[in-house]
Amino acid sequence: MTPLPRALTAICATTFLLIGIARADGSGDPTAVTSEDGKYLDKEGTPTYKVDPDGKVDFYTYVGFIRYSANCLRCHGPDGLGSTYGPALLNSLKTLSYGDVLMTVASGRQKVSASQDLVMPALGADKNVMCYIDAIYIYLRARSNGAIGRGRPENHEPKPAAFRAAEDECMG
């Protein structure tokens, strides 16, 4: 599959090669350096995951699994692994940046040819997706980097008060 936008991806990929980051995805080094109300951020300020040595995940990763499975699995298969219908996001996130993901989810994309009709819907108006888009991104980022395995994370940090407030405001 062709990542969006190509130029940005190419730049990112080249950067990674030059500076030789051991672990990286379309948004760079996923290592969490700061946290804000239970949400972790990498050094660029991009949302990221945090997984403890005992497998305990941050709350966003956990919610991301729940919301991915409810909203994305129907096409992209369980655990980001892809299906006969949609591509494996686990692979897509190796090249797509956070911004690419937001753009694609919100506005959709189409790849329609004589033999294939791949259409991603524009989900920008779907609160069930957009209110949780950071969580979904964080979950997929963790999957893409092999930080968590398949299935529901066994253990997670408690629900942050800020998450609850933002959820209520967003879902209405």
Asked if 66 interacts with other proteins (CB under 8 A), we say yes
Binders of other proteins among residues 134 to 153 (CB under 8 A) are: 134, 149-152
Site string for other proteins, 22-61 (x = CB under 8 A): -----x-------------x--xxxx-------x------
Q: Are 154 and 51 in contact (CB under 8 A)?
A: no
Site string for other proteins, 70-109 (x = CB under 8 A): xx-xxx-xxx-xxxxxx-x--------xxx--xx-xxxx-
Output the six-digit token pair for 28. 């760079």
Distance (Å) of CA 90 to CA 112, 162, 171: 22, 28, 27
In the complex, minimum distance from the CB of residue 6 to other proteins, in angstroms, rounded to a whole number: 18
Q: Are 130 and 123 in contact (CB under 8 A)?
A: yes
Q: Which stretches of the chain bind other proteins, using CB under 8 A?
A: 27, 41, 44-47, 55, 65-67, 69-71, 73-75, 77-79, 81-86, 88, 97-99, 102-103, 105-108, 110, 112, 114-131, 133-134, 149-152, 166-167, 169-172
